[in-house]
Structure formats: structure tokens, C-alpha cells
Amino acid sequence: MPYSPLAPALVAAMIAVGAAILGLRLSNAPRAARRLIPFSGGLLAGIALFGVLPELAERNGWSGGLALLAMGLLLLWAVGRWVYAVCPACSHTHDHTLCPASLHGFALPLVVAASLHSFLDGLSIAASAQQHSGSLAAAVVFGVGLHKIPEGIALGVMLRAALNSRRAALGWCVAVQAATVLGAALESAAGPHLGALWLSCALGLAGGSFVYLAYHAVHAEWRLRGALPAFAPALTGAAGAAILQHGLHAWLH
């Protein structure tokens, strides 16, 4: 039976919704959750460098693979620079742990940006599932699922501050995470008919987004608490991604 990316995409979305519910119950973003952000960032960077990039290099050569990864990174950077910060957990510049004020007018741009991020998560899961390497698909799903925890908490906290109704905030959290399944469904349906170039571009976008998120996760923690609290968990996450990728590859082959 062929592997379907819809189930893991749905699981990742449910993880994020559960984390958002936790965020809705908190008056301030928990400091403990922030410690997970640089670790998940390092994990995502490790998956991009040790999982996605080798697959791209196998199809397009190392120069082509690096170019596709850079293309994805630059695209996410352009959106975050000139449109809106893509990731609510690690890209936003305002420290909501110290802000008691409601974020009036903040809900719509946050929902749009977070939906784009969730759509790319689903795209990443589906694009990796089309590879012959099952270890890449498993590593991407694991990385996305882990990153969904602090992302979901931050999304719940911010939407609760931006909206008067807790129920409305929860509804928008669910709508945002539904984009994860939508991205996986679109890539799963259209990807096989668009050829190898589309798959390479989708993987490049996925890997580039992982690097982008990793940079912002580590930079945010570095700015708040210094180099050691930022880089120690990030390097641990990157090393864990390398070990995970190698272990999954050996187990599946």
C-alpha cells in the first residue's frame, strides 16, 4: 500500500492544536517552552543539512542542491522581511512574555502568516514522502511535529491576546493548522504529475524553510539569553538530527 502523507500531516496539525490549547490557558508565553525553541531549530537545521540536502544533491548535484536550498531560504526570508514574520514561535520580534497589553488588530496578519507556515509544513511532509528514502520522510515528520509544540503555544497565546473570545482564538488556531493537511494534500495530488523538477523545488523550499526557522529560533534565544543558552540546545538538536537520520536510514535499509 503506498505511503500517504495525509495521516502524519494530520498528526502534526493535532499536535499544534493541542499546544495552542495549552497556550490559550496561559496568561503569558511560558519560559519553559522557549527553551525548546532553539533545540527544535537545531533539529530542523540538522534535518535540512543531513536529510534534505543529500536528497537534493543526489538528484541535482551538490551545486544544484545547494542552490535549491538557498532558493527556499531566500523566499522565506523575503516573506518574513517584507510581508510578515512567518513563524509565531521564533520569528516574531516582540517579546510577548513581558507584554500585558492586548494585541488589537494583530489576529488577521498572524493567521495569514501562520497559515502559510503550516502550509509549508504540510508541503514538506508530502514532498519528503515522495522520496525513495523512508528515513527522510520519518525525520521530516519528527522535526515538524517537534517544532509544532512551541509554535502552537505561541500561536494560542498571541491569538488569545488579539481576540476577545477564547472560542474564536481556538477556532482560528484550528483553521491555521488545517493548512498543514491542505499543503500535504495538494503536494500529494499534484506533485507526482508535475515532474522531478517540481519535487526538487518543493524539497528545496521545505529545506530552506527549515534553515530559516532554525536561524530565527537560535537568534531569538541568543538575543534574549546569550550565546550558550542558544547554541548548546541548537547544536544538540542538530547532532540529534544527524544521528536520527543515520539511524532511520540504517533501520529502513
What is the C-alpha end-to-end distance of the chain, expressed in Å? 18
Residue 64 domain-assigned (yes or no): yes
Q: For residue 131, give Cα distances in angstroms to 3, 72, 125, 202, 223.
A: 11, 18, 11, 12, 37
Model confidence pLDDT, tens digit, residues 32-41: 556 666 777 7
What does residue 95 show for φ and ψ, rounded to 5 degrees? -85, 100
**Cell numbers of 8, please?**
502524519
Domain that holds residue 156: 31-252
- Looking at the domain assignment, is residue 25 inside a domain? no
Give the separation between CA 41 and CA 90, rounded to whole angstroms. Answer: 9
Q: Indicate the DSSP class of residue 191.
A: G
Q: Is residue 9 part of a domain?
A: no
Instruction: Round to whole Å and give the CA distance between 252 and 238.
Output: 21
Looking at residue 53, what is its pLDDT? 87
Residue 3, pLDDT score: 56
Residue 97 lies in a domain: yes
pLDDT bin (cut points 50, 70, 90) of residue 180 is: very high
Evaluate whether residue 7 is within a structural domain: no
Looking at the domain assignment, is residue 14 inside a domain?
no
Whether the predicted model's global pTM rises above the 0.95 cut:
no
What is the spatial distance between Cα 21 and Cα 13, in angstroms, rounded to a whole number?
12
Residue 181: inside a domain, yes or no? yes
Question: What would the pLDDT profile of 38-63 be if each residue is shown by its tens digit?
Answer: 777 787 788 788 877 887 887 789 99
The Cβ of residue 232 has, within 10 Å, a number of other Cβ atoms equal to 14
d(CA 171, CA 148): 17
CB distance 9 to 126 below 8 Å: yes
Number of domains within the chain: 1
Round to whole Å and give the CA distance between 17 and 56: 32
Residue 191 lies in a domain: yes
